[in-house]
Amino acid sequence: ENAAFHAEVLVLGGGPGGYTAAFRAADLGKQVVLVERYPTLGGVCLNVGCIPSKALLHVAQVVHEAAEGSSFGVKFGPPEIDLAKVRDYKNKVVKTLTTGLAALAKQRKVTVVQGVGQFVSDKTLAVETAEGPKTIGFDACIIAAGSQPVKIPGFPHDDPRLIDSTGALELAEVPKRFLIVGGGIIGLEMATVYHALGSAVSVVELMDQLIPGCDADLVKPLHQRIKKQYQNIYLKTKVVRIEPEAEGLRVFFEGEGAPESEVFDRVLVAVGRRPNGKLIGAEQAGVRVDERGFIPVDAQQRTNVPHIYAIGDIVGNPMLAHKATHEAKVAAEVIAGHKAAFQALTIPSVAYTDPEIAWMGLTETQALAQGVEYDKAVFPWAASGRALGIGRREGLTKILYAKESQRILGAGIVGTNAGELIAETVLALEMGADVQDIALTIHPHPTLSETFAFAAEMAEGTITDLY
């Protein structure tokens, strides 16, 4: 039967955008229905994205640090990897979080409907559930249907040896010869994991540097480290064809650094993600979707249809969980009648590689392209006592600041824990701090966080010692 019911706020998609919006709307007194096609909440981030990747990267870090112990006089044997246990560990982390979300939804009386949703009008969504179709009417709707990995046309995507990030996180096996197509954040994080587990990793990237979009000086220390660890890193190179053979996948390359065709046991395609905007029947609701599948929204997260909002990966780049959750709160608050708008000055980016790379605000590449006048200070971690103490001197902390006002315009960090360290620079930018504010703020010694203050002291010309 077609059970019809009504929601004050209907949320389509249960990822970080969707569940945050649903919870916030419920906390503001709205009666909320959340529609998610998968049996667990959490979307890409919790199930097949941020969280499982970071659990596996922790395993990789332990392997790497143990291997480096001999440099300070502690030698461990070669790691014995119990892949089933590694997989269990990762799955448990995910399960703890998704189970927690289900409990939080229940606590807030958010009704979760499992099924695939499609708009039938600007007031109703049809959901294909296990018990048959359901129609849900709504006063307001928040679209949070996310994105999915880009597939390359012509590649044998049906072959189980050709995987995407979801397949890589499944950890079905540790391939001997592993090729990663795409030297962006997701590809390099998976490279870090599989290298630690014992794969011979190769990476191929179309552009002239890894992590395109990040300043080259920040990428360099990472590149230098991994080029010693990995089999090959091919830049300015394109994979043009993949042919399944009994032995593996034969990969054909083209471009400046292109090698002969090569056979790999597995190939990961990590060349970006595309929004799900064209898959939800948006046209039936009159919601405008651009040619790439993104849904344009205003600062209140409103689509062209005033009572329908959209958030997260489906509204545009950067496709990051912390952007989705902040947009989610704005949409829920606007629906509840609050004055709210998405006005973040910056959204930080982090590659959880080894070393990590993190940046926020204006990058140097952007500043040069846009003709922005700036000054910069770069503090080398080789002069940080703490960095030396942990045996990682390759890091850099860079700040860009305005010539006149000396206010922070952007920052980039490469080095251990860069992802944690970048948060302070984001706060500095949001608060309009100038380099003197940062230099005068007492940072604990000896820490990596000090490197931000040291960079500010360099900018000020007040740095005395390097330590």
- 185 annotated as belonging to a binding site for a ligand: yes
Residue 264: name the closest of 282, 281, 252, 251 by CA.
Answer: 251
Is 445 annotated in the active site? yes
Q: What angle do CA 72, 74, 78 make, to 5 degrees?
A: 120
Instruction: Convert 427-449 to b/e letters by CB count within 10 Å (16 or more is b).
Output: ebbeeebbbeebbeeebeeebbb
Which of residues 233 and 351 has its CB atom nearest to ligand FAD in the complex? 351
Token duo for residue 283: 């046209």
- Is residue 43 at the binding interface for ligand FAD, with CB under 6 A as the rule? yes
Interaction of residue 145 with ligand FAD, rule CB under 6 A:
yes
CA atoms within a 13 Å half-sphere pointing along the CA-CB vector of 26: 20
**Cβ at position 292, least distance to ligand FAD in Å:** 15
Residue 435 CB, nearest approach to ligand FAD (Å): 28
Binding test (CB under 6 A) with ligand FAD, winner from 30, 146, 175, 381: 146
Is 320 annotated in a binding site? The answer is yes
Q: Which is nearer to ligand FAD, 144 or 360 (CB)?
A: 144
Residues in region 83-122 near ligand FAD by CB under 6 A? 116-117
386: helix, coil or strand? Answer: helix
Answer yes or no whether residue 17 interacts with ligand FAD by CB under 6 A.
yes
Shortest Å, Cβ 271 to ligand FAD: 12
Between 13 and 412, CB nearer to ligand FAD: 13
- When asked if residue 45 is in the footprint of ligand FAD (CB under 6 A), the reply is yes
Figure out which of the listed residues 27, 28, 37, 366 binds ligand FAD, where binding follows CB under 6 A. Answer: 37
- Per-residue string for binding with ligand FAD, 224-263, x by CB under 6 A? ----------------------------------------
- Count of residues touching ligand FAD (by CB under 6 A): 35
Residue 162 C-beta: closest distance to ligand FAD, Å: 16
Q: Determine contact, residues 255/238, Cβ cutoff 8 Å.
A: yes
Q: Rounded to 5 degrees, what angle do the CA atoms 236, 238, 241 make? A: 165
H/E element, 169: helix 165-170
DSSP state of 434: B
| 21 phi and psi angles, rounded to 5 deg | -65, -45
360 is in an annotated binding site: no
Per the rule left: phi > 0, alpha: psi between -120 and 50, beta: everything else, 445 is: beta
CA 132, 133, 134, 138 torsion-angle sign: positive
Verify binding: residue 186, ligand FAD, rule CB under 6 A. Answer: yes
CA 86 to chain centre: 22
Kindly report the length of the chain.
467
Shortest approach of ligand FAD to residue 236 CB, angstroms? 25
Is 77 assigned to a binding site?
no
Q: What mask, x for binding ligand FAD by CB under 6 A, covers residues 147 to 176?
A: x-----------------x-----------
Question: Is the CB of 352 or the CB of 452 nearer to ligand FAD?
Answer: 352
Tokens 């940046």 belong to 359
Of 15 and 355, CB closest to ligand FAD: 15
Local structure of 247: helix, strand or coil: coil
Question: Using CB under 6 A, which residues numbered 305 to 324 contact ligand FAD?
Answer: 312-314, 319-322, 324
**Least distance between ligand FAD and beta carbon 316 (Å):** 10
Q: How far is the CB of 347 from ligand FAD (least distance, A)?
A: 9
> Per CB under 6 A, does 14 bind ligand FAD?
yes
Q: Which of 49, 167, 183, 221 binds ligand FAD (CB under 6 A)?
A: 49
| Residue 79 DSSP symbol | P
Separation of alpha carbons 214 and 262, rounded Å: 29
205 among the known binding-site residues?
Answer: yes
Q: Is 301 in the site for ligand FAD (CB under 6 A)?
A: no
Number of C-alpha atoms within 13 angstroms, CB side, residue 347? 15
Looking at the DSSP bridge assignments, the partners of residue 411 are: 360, 399
Burial 253-291 (b: 16+ CB within 10 A, else e): beeeebeeebebbbbbbbbebbbbbbebebeebebebee
Contact residue for ligand FAD among 276, 303, 406, 425 (CB under 6 A): 276
Rank residues 12 and 377 by Cβ distance to ligand FAD and give the closer one.
12
Measure Cα distances from 461 to 42, 122, 436 in Å: 47, 60, 10
Residues binding ligand FAD (CB under 6 A): 12-18, 35-38, 43-45, 49-50, 53, 116-117, 144-147, 165, 186, 276, 280, 312-314, 319-322, 324
Which residue ranges are tagged as binding site for FAD?
54, 117, 313, 319-322
Binding region: 54, 117, 182-189, 205, 272, 313, 319-322
Task: List, as residue ranges, the binding site for NAD(+).
Answer: 182-189, 205, 272
**Which positions are catalytic?**
445
